[in-house]
Amino acid sequence: MTPTLAMIVFLIGAVIWFVIRIPARRRARKAAVKLSGRGLREKVLMAISLTGLGIIPLAYIASQFQSARFRFLGFADYPFVPALAWLGVLVFAASLWLFYLTHKALGRNWSVSLDIRESHKLITGGVYALVRHPMYSAFWLWAIAQALLLPNWVAGLAGIVGFGTLFFSRVGEEERLMCDAFGDEYRAYMRRTSRVLPGLY
């Protein structure tokens, strides 16, 4: 494993993630929204998350192919450890697999933000039986993989900071929205599941 290979793994992972989302985006466009938690706050949170998980690492990777003078965040580089990067490959693969499963399970109930659709169904099966926010578990795995793959304190940890900001600001709001829409059914689901880590959190 080399730093270049680790960066290529990150790029391939990002492309696979994008492809997994294509059918979900298409399906979601067709299903009308009846209740939404979208607003300025949500937009800002999504921008912060996208910056941390995507823009900063991609800018960092792009600049690695420039001469040393132009390397973005060069001051925060640390020595590359192949074993950590290998672990990053495994974690990234697990993240993408979980992304695939969550999109498959959510179907037309998926949203990039917080939306309750006409004929929205509460999903509690498949990976949604293990935790109630498995897609956020997948994003956490992405953020951890990013830290393991990119030997740079800022580009590596930007995902944890960026997605962490979105996660902790959104998850309570999302659960309130789901309680408004599904009442006791969602409250019972909350009692029997953890948020992102089975049995722990």
The residue among 30 and 69 lying less far from ligand SAH, judged by its C-beta, is 30
Is 149 within 8 Å of 10 (Cβ atoms)? yes
Q: For ligand SAH, what does the binding mask look like between residues 154 and 183, x meaning CB under 6 A?
A: --------------------x--xx-----
Check residue 42 for interaction with ligand SAH (CB under 6 A): no
Shortest separation between residue 109's beta carbon and ligand SAH, angstroms: 4
Check residue 142 for interaction with ligand SAH (CB under 6 A): no
Is 87 within 8 Å of 148 (Cβ atoms)? yes
Binding residues for ligand SAH restricted to 79-138, rule: CB under 6 A: 102, 106, 109-111, 114-116, 122-123, 128, 132-136
DSSP 33-76: EEEE--SHHHHHHHHHHHIIIIIHHHHHHHHTTS-GGG-TTGGG
What distance in Å separates the CA atoms of residue 133 and residue 27, rounded to the nearest whole number?
A: 20
Rg (CA), the chain: 18
Q: How far is CA 46 from CA 36, 50, 162, 191, 195, in A?
A: 15, 6, 9, 28, 19
Check residue 20 for interaction with ligand SAH (CB under 6 A): no
The residue among 14 and 177 lying less far from ligand SAH, judged by its C-beta, is 177
Residues that bind ligand SAH (CB under 6 A): 102, 106, 109-111, 114-116, 122-123, 128, 132-136, 174, 177-178
